[in-house]
């Protein structure tokens, strides 16, 4: 049964053995298992903390949380009643349809529309559709944001938002390299002062490691990333998601997170494609689509050793 729905969970199974599982809560992918050409046995590719809530009581600490309409603490006037990272990751989405179900891939569509709870803190008209597609060696997630305003006012009733896929990639964190980010401009959120956090830096490393507490927001980062470690890795390619965040709390910040399993920071790196510097804007009736494709890397690629 390539698509199964059981009590708020959707499971996708590909004919070649890969699988994915997502919660209707937050449309959060909580598992993606895939093998490689040389090692075809599917293995878990995402990290979910064993202390994470997955009962809908709070956002999942792991998997692929969907971030909308704001990234981080809200800064846009229309977002000021929202929690960090917006509401998409902690609302229950509707299962809309099976989009594809063949040897090429298994794909499902979830939707989210304003509820009374959302409208109480965010009164802009919107429609979200989230399409998750599983293939033999890759998973893709597409977020469609539609401005459903029917206003003919001038200036137009634009929808202004940020969006990001908060990927927790399962990896030996201290052996990870993320590239190519060299020469890209980034903002270092680990800096102590707000002034320093808002001052752009330039990445000098060919491969970015997360052996220290890392929380870097790369702007206009190129849209194709490799996350590698000895013996493994994934590649992420995107559409419309011009920025990318690299985050690992290490122990210094990880121990302060109540839902982070002991030493969890050693077992993942977050590489998060998004539109998070500035705001995407769509006019009434228009739709914006942000897409990522995460593919397993079949043959080890290491641009430099640690
Ligand atoms: O994407 C990195 C980040 O913004 C970090 O600053 C850290 O806050 C992380 O997200 C997790 O945020 P959360 O709200 O899920 O605890």
Which CATH number belongs to the domain containing residue 230 in this structure? 2.70.98.10
Q: What pLDDT shows up at residue 306?
A: 44
Domain assignment of residue 304, yes or no:
no
Domain assignment of residue 150, yes or no:
yes
Nearest Cα to Cα of residue 240 among 294, 290, 165: 290
User: Which protein residue has the closest C-alpha to ligand 1 atom 6?
Assistant: 215
Mean pLDDT confidence for 18-26: 98
Dihedral angle computed from the Cα positions of residues 60, 135, 218 and 207, in that order, rounded to the nearest 10 degrees: 110
Domain assignment of residue 303, yes or no:
no
Q: DSSP secondary-structure letter at 22?
A: E
Q: Please give the share of the chain, as a percent, with pLDDT higher than 70.
A: 98
User: Is the pLDDT assigned to residue 245 strictly greater than 50?
Assistant: yes
Residue that has been written with the tokens 């971030």 in this structure: 67
Mean pLDDT confidence for 160-164: 99
Q: Is the peptide bond before 155 cis (omega within 30 degrees of 0)?
A: yes
Question: Which of 67, 85, 258, 270 is the best mutation target for the ligand 1 pocket, counting ligand atoms within 8 Å of the beta carbon and taking the most?
Answer: 85
Domains in the chain, number: 1
Domain assignment of residue 221, yes or no:
yes
Question: Which of 51, 72, 258, 259 is the best mutation target for the ligand 1 pocket, counting ligand atoms within 8 Å of the beta carbon and taking the most?
Answer: 72
Domain assignment of residue 192, yes or no:
yes
84 Cβ closer than 6 Å to some ligand 1 atom: yes
Q: Please give the share of the chain, as a percent, with pLDDT higher than 90.
A: 96
Rounded to the nearest integer, the mean pLDDT of the chain is 96
What is the span of the domain harbouring residue 94? 3-296
């Amino acid at each position: 049964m390539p698509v199964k729905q059981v009590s708020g969970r959707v499971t996708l199974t590909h004919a070649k053995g890969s699988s994915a599982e997502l919660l209707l809560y937050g449309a959060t992918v909580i598992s993606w298992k895939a093998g490689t050409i040389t090692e075809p046995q599917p293995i878990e590719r995402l990290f979910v903390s064993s202390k994470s809530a997955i009962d809908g009581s709070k956002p999942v600490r792991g998997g692929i949380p969907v971030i909308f309409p704001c990234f981080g603490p809200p800064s846009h006037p229309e977002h000021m009643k929202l929690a960090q990272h917006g509401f998409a990751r902690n609302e229950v989405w509707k299962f809309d349809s099976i989009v594809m179900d063949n040897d090429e891939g298994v794909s499902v569509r979830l939707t989210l529309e304003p509820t009374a709870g959302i409208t109480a803190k965010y009164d802009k008209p919107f429609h979200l559709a989230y399409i998750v597609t599983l293939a033999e060696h890759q998973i893709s997630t597409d977020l469609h944001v539609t401005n459903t305003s029917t206003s003919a006012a001038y200036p137009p009733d634009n929808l202004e938002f940020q969006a990001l896929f908060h990927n927790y990639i399962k990896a030996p964190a201290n052996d990870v390299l993320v590239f190519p980010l060299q020469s890209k401009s980034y903002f270092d959120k680990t800096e102590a002062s707000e002034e320093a956090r808002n001052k752009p830096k330039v990445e000098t490393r060919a491969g970015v490691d997360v052996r220290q507490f890392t929380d870097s927001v790369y702007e206009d980062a190129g849209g194709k990333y490799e996350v590698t470690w000895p013996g493994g890795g994934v590649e992420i390619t995107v559409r419309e998601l011009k920025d990318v965040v690299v985050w690992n709390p290490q122990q210094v910040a990880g121990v302060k997170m109540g839902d982070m399993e002991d030493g969890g920071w050693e077992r993942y790196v977050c590489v998060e494609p998004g539109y998070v510097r500035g705001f995407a804007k769509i006019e009434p009736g228009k739709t914006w689509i942000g897409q990522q494709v995460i593919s397993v890397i079949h043959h080890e690629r290491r641009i430099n050793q640690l």
